[in-house]
Amino acid sequence: MLRKLGANYQIAIPKEVVKNLHLHKNDYLDVQIVHNGIYLKPHVSIPKDQAYFFTPEWQKGEKEAEEDIKAGRVTKTKNLEELFDILDGKKDYDFDH
C-alpha cells in the first residue's frame, strides 16, 4: 500500500488497516524504526489506578473466569449475604435451588 508523505510529514492510513485494527481518531500509535523501516503499533494507555487489571496474573484469572462461565461452573445465590456465607464456608451451596 503506497502512501505519499504529506506537508507536515503525515501519511494517511488505509481504511482497511484502520478497520482491521479497530483504530479510531485520536488513538495512539507507537512508532519504531525496525530494519530500516517504520513499524506502527496501536498503543493503549492505561491509567495508573487501573494498571493492575492488565497484569498477566489478572488477565489469567479473567480468562479462567470466562472459561468457567462458558462451562456453566457458576454459583447463583439469592443475595450478597448468601454469597459471602458460601465463600466464608458458613453455608454449603445448594445446587438444586
pLDDT digits (tens, 9 = 90+) for 52-96: 888 899 999 999 999 999 998 888 888 999 989 988 999 887 665
d(C-alpha 51, C-alpha 44), whole Å: 11
Map residue 53 onto helix, strand or coil: helix
Cell 512508532 belongs to: 31
Q: Which helix (H) or strand (E) holds 32?
A: strand 28-34
Task: Please report the pLDDT score of residue 52 as a whole number.
Answer: 85
CATH 2.10.260.10 in the chain is located at 1-45
Question: Which CATH topology does 1-45 take?
Answer: Pemi-like Protein 1; Chain: D (2.10.260)
